[in-house]
Amino acid sequence: MTTYPFPAAANPAIARTPQAEDGLVTYGLYIDGAFVPPVGGQYLESSDPVTGEAWSRVPRAGAEDVDRACRAAQAAFDNPEWRGLSASARGKLMRKLGDLITENADWLAAVEMKDNGKLIAELGNQMRYMANYYYYYGGLADKIEGSTIPTDKPGVFNFTRYEPLGVVACIMPWNSPLPLTSLKLAPALAAGNTVVLKPSEFTSASLLEFVKLVELAGFPKGVVNVVTGYGHEMGEALVSHPVVERIAFTGGPIAGRIINEQAARSMKRVTMELGGKSPNIIFEDADLEQAVKGAVTGIFAASGQTCVAGSRLLLQRSIHDQFLEKLVAFLEDIRFGHPSDPETQIAPISTAPQMAKIEEYVRIATDEGARLVRGGKRAVVEGYPNGLFYEPTIFADVRNDMRIAQEEVFGPVLAVIPFEDEDDAVRIANDIDFGLAAGIWTQNLARGIRMTERVRAGTIWVNNYRSTSTTSPFGGFKMSGIGREGGIVGMLEYMELKSVWVSTGVEIPNPFIRR
Beta bridge partners of 223: none
Round to whole Å and give the CA distance between 242 and 503. 35
Beta bridge partners of 484: none
Round to whole Å and give the CA distance between 216 and 86. 20
| Count of helix runs (H) and strand runs (E) in the chain | 16, 22
DSSP secondary structure of 299-317: HHGGGG-STT---EEEEEG
Which of the residues are catalytic? 273, 307
Q: Give the nearest distance from C-beta 219 to ligand NAD in angstroms.
A: 23
Nearer to ligand NAD (CB atom), residue 107 or residue 174: 174
Q: Give the nearest distance from C-beta 291 to ligand NAD in angstroms.
A: 24
Beta strands in 85-227 (DSSP E): 156-164, 167-171, 194-198, 224-226
The 3-state DSSP class for residue 496 equals strand
Q: Give the nearest distance from C-beta 437 to ligand NAD in angstroms.
A: 9
Q: Give the nearest distance from C-beta 352 to ligand NAD in angstroms.
A: 12
From the centroid of its chain, how far is CA 181?
7
Q: Give the nearest distance from C-beta 351 to ligand NAD in angstroms.
A: 8
Binding site for ligand NAD (CB under 6 A): 171-175, 180, 198, 200-201, 231-232, 235, 239, 250-252, 255, 258-259, 273-276, 307, 408, 410, 436, 476, 481
Nearer to ligand NAD (CB atom), residue 29 or residue 291: 29
Nearer to ligand NAD (CB atom), residue 276 or residue 490: 276
Contacts 24+ apart (CB under 8 A), 249-256: 249/170, 249/171, 249/273, 250/171, 250/172, 250/173, 250/180, 250/183, 250/184, 250/274, 250/307, 251/171, 251/172, 251/173, 251/200, 252/173, 252/408, 253/408, 253/479, 255/171, 255/231, 256/481
Q: Are 190 and 137 in contact (CB under 8 A)?
A: yes
Nearer to ligand NAD (CB atom), residue 64 or residue 289: 64
Round to whole Å and give the CA distance between 361 and 375. 13
Q: Give the nearest distance from C-beta 485 to ligand NAD in angstroms.
A: 7
Nearer to ligand NAD (CB atom), residue 71 or residue 198: 198
Nearer to ligand NAD (CB atom), residue 253 or residue 418: 253
